[in-house]
Amino acid sequence: MDIYLDHAASTPVREEVVQEMMPWLSMHPGNPSGSHRLAREARRAIDDARDHVASLVGAEPGNVIFTSGGTESDNLAIDGILGLKGGKALCSATEHPAVLEPVRESGGIVAPTDKTGRVDLESLSNLLDSFADISLISVMMANNETGVINNINTIADLISEKAPEIMIHTDAVQATSWLDIAESSKKAHLISLTGHKFGGPKGAGALVLREGVKLSPVIRGGGQERERRSGTQNVPAIVGLGEAARLMQIERPKINERVTELRDKLENGLIDKIAGTSRTLPKETPRTPGIAHLCFENIENEALLFLLENQGIYASAASSCASGAQEASHVLQAMGVDLKTAGGSIRFSLGQATTDEEIEHAVTVVPDAVDQLREFQK
Amino acid sequence: MTRVMVAMSGGVDSSVAAALSCENGDEVVGVTLKLWGGDSDSGCCSVSDVDDARRVADSLGIEHHVFNLGDDFDEHVVAPYVEAHSLGLTPNPCIECNRHIKFDRLMNRAKSLGFEKIVTGHHARIVKQKDDTFRIARAVDEAKDQSYVLYMLNQSQISSLHLPVGEMTKDQVREKADSLGFRVATKPDSQDVCFITREKGRADFLGQRIPLTPGRVVDESGSEVGRVEAIELVTVGQRRGMLLAGGKEPRYANNIDIESATVTVGTPDQLLVEQTEFRNTLWAANEINGEFLVQTSAHGKPKLANIEDNVLTWNEAHSIVASGQSLVFYEDNQVVGGAIAV
């Protein structure tokens, strides 16, 4: 039995999404920028998808920029605003590298977080007082490793009170399955998301702008996406992204309820059965339902993941580098978790496809694997 | 069926070792270690070596994993390497990597995961003795022999190890890789220290980590005959790069004094010693005294010496051995032990 508990890395593509995409892979040759009928068909397909994404985020369809995914959306938000307005970008220390790297590279500011990995409002306020040239602040809605949730609207209130001219970007990639994005990103100016984290295909994402927000393009060429992202659109993937967005808007409350129950069952089961196991985040921390992030005392996560894989359980630790090796987590580091504890942490991430049987099986298998490793240490 | 973990570096030897393990009917899993996060000749984090190993594993139809032992590598290999240079010693990082990483951390990891043996692509053999103990022996291809860097292995480690390419010549290894269509069949052998790039070199690597001290070069009488830019980069036995003015005969560094930043040079005659002291002795099985062949560097020619109480007495005067180098003791072509030169 294959038990996929790595939905935060990528989700399976939903069957309904595959069905919507198929004709655009096999039958329709048109380029959406063209003028004849076949081109117009493709154009209509991506504009339908655009409507679905706009509705999900509570934005105007004309403000949805299709990209290749979360990383490109984040890069476009940061480089696009800095390119137009100049100044500095600021982000939190627990951001995804897709935000951290462009912020660092452009000489921006990385703000500390509290022990849960959330933006610390007091330090943010101090940084706003110390730097007059900040033009963009990027804060993720939900963290990809721990699932901890930042309240973007509260952060936006603080920022607009002190410096209303600052643009606020939120990487909502990990939040799309779990939060009402329209409401949670109401006060943000730019919102990143990507299809493959909520049942869509890899290779299609979006950067959504609030009305009136302007940026300079990063990819230049034929002027697609209203001059903001050139290049022929990936029609089948965008169609899939649109369908996934449509389904998510309808089904989110139901999925949330079910997955929360499964996540709690997994966490409680493993904590009960395995001595020295704890939640990385306190239980009551605002966090998405999809992630059970646990620390196992005296365990090396690389070894545990290996044994779990042999038992058909696929999870992950922090993030992987280009070589495929597990890297020390910059998120846990920013939270002040010591290296040894962090080295024994595992992220089990659940999704719409996760079943009750899978969680029950995981709760019986993981303890045996931990036992095997601890037995050897003796 | 034996469950084996093959340590795959992405080179031709360990690729063929993996193939031979598969042909042997073993249950094989390939593992590549991510050891160094900085620049290397195969890109950051050695990504291209990992790719090579992964593609070979793919073509063999075996699972392939990457283990990140970078912190251990920094602690047990890189930091001691840097410290040794700062003390004027000549370290051997490949030996420390084998000692602490491959045959300690990785071997323990493999056992904890239920593997019976680990397999590496080292050119060396394992030979069983009459008393059922094991020894590491020289490879069939003597020019490629790596028994020197495996001297630290004890009985438990050797009995959990398989070295399939030690029975083959390098040409045979490459032919085998070629016949299997491996992309690494013609990949050049790795050279030098894996965490130092050919482009930037040792001076740059050490210069970023420790202060480098300019030093004087003097002859036996104490008169200054040259200068070096960094005393920490000089190795006993070195001839080049010491700006010696004049002199009819070639002269070599025969002593390095870090405190006074002084290198003493001498003629080849002055480089010879009767005895070499050593420390940290390890034996393959039992401690033995007597006459052995002793090899003092990875590709050095072994010379006869008598071993007694942490001192080697060379049968014929021997070039001085740089402090920090490993001395490996052979009986015929088998490793019986080894130590570190004082």
Q: Which CATH number belongs to the domain containing residue B312 in this structure?
A: 2.40.30.10
Question: Chain A: residue nearest B33 by CA?
Answer: A325
Same domain flag for B260 and B298 = no
Q: Is B94 a known active-site residue? A: no
From the options 3.40.50.460, 3.40.640.10, 3.40.50.720, 3.30.499.10, give the CATH code of A15-248.
Answer: 3.40.640.10
- Name which of B50, B108, B109 is nearest A324 (Cβ-Cβ): B50
Query: Is B197 part of any domain?
Result: no
Query: Is B171 part of any domain?
Result: yes
Render pLDDT for A215-246 as a digit per residue (tens, 0 to 9). 999 999 999 999 999 999 999 999 999 999 99
Note down the domain range covering B294: 270-341
- Name which of B50, B112, B113 is nearest A323 (Cβ-Cβ): B50
pLDDT at res. A26: 92
Contacts of A303 in chain B (CB under 8 A): 109, 112-113
Q: CATH number, domain at B237? A: 2.30.30
pTM of the full structure: 0.92
Q: Tell me the nearest-neighbour CA distance from A305 into chain B, angstroms.
A: 10
Tens-level pLDDT at each residue, chain B (342 residues): 899 999 999 999 999 999 999 999 999 999 999 998 887 776 555 788 999 999 999 999 999 999 999 999 999 999 999 999 999 999 999 999 999 999 999 999 999 999 999 999 999 999 999 999 999 999 999 999 999 999 999 999 999 999 999 999 999 999 999 999 999 999 988 877 889 988 889 999 999 999 999 999 998 888 888 899 999 999 988 888 777 766 667 888 989 999 999 999 988 888 899 999 999 999 999 888 899 999 999 989 999 999 988 999 999 999 999 999 999 999 999 999 999 999
- What sign does the CA torsion over B194, B200, B201, B203 have? negative
Q: Count structural domains, chain B.
A: 3
Residues from B contacting A (CB-CB < 8 Å) are 32, 34, 44-47, 50, 54, 65-68, 70-71, 108-109, 111-114
Render pLDDT for A274-292 as a digit per residue (tens, 0 to 9). 999 999 999 999 999 999 9
pLDDT at res. A326: 74
Amino acid at A48: D
Residues 6 or more apart whose CB falls under 8 angstroms from that of B265 comprise B217, B218, B219, B225, B226, B242, B244, B251, B252, B253, B254
Is pLDDT above 90 for A5? yes
Contacts of B67 in chain A (CB under 8 A): 302, 325
Query: Is B293 part of any domain?
Result: yes
- Name which of B54, B68, B114 is nearest A327 (Cβ-Cβ): B68
**Phi/psi of residue A106, nearest 5 degrees:** -90, 15
Query: Is B207 part of any domain?
Result: no
Same domain flag for B172 and B56 = yes
Query: Is B51 part of any domain?
Result: yes
**Phi/psi of residue B143, nearest 5 degrees:** -65, -25
Asked if B68 and A325 come within 8 Å (Cβ–Cβ), the reply is yes
Domain ranges in chain A with CATH number 3.40.640.10? 15-248
Residues 6 or more apart whose CB falls under 8 angstroms from that of A250 comprise none
Same domain flag for B225 and B305 = no
Task: Considering the domain delimited by A3-10+252-377, tell me its CATH architecture.
Answer: Alpha-Beta Complex (3.90)
Query: Is B104 part of any domain?
Result: yes
pLDDT at res. B45: 56
pLDDT at res. B43: 59
* Options B22, B45, B94, B97, the catalytic residue: B97
Query: Is B107 part of any domain?
Result: yes
Write down the mean pLDDT value for chain A: 96
Last residue of a domain, one of B220, B235, B266: B266
* Options A27, A321, A322, A325, the catalytic residue: A321
pLDDT at res. B113: 97
Residues from A contacting B (CB-CB < 8 Å) are 300, 302-303, 306-307, 321-328, 339, 372-373, 376-377
pLDDT at res. B246: 64
Domain ranges in chain A with CATH number 3.90.1150.10? 3-10+252-377
Same domain flag for B251 and B294 = no
Q: ipTM value of the model?
A: 0.89
Is pLDDT above 70 for A320? no
Residue A111 pLDDT level (bands cut at 50, 70, 90): very high
Contacts of A328 in chain B (CB under 8 A): 71
- Name which of B45, B54, B71 is nearest A321 (Cβ-Cβ): B45
Same domain flag for B262 and B303 = no
Asked if B113 and A303 come within 8 Å (Cβ–Cβ), the reply is yes
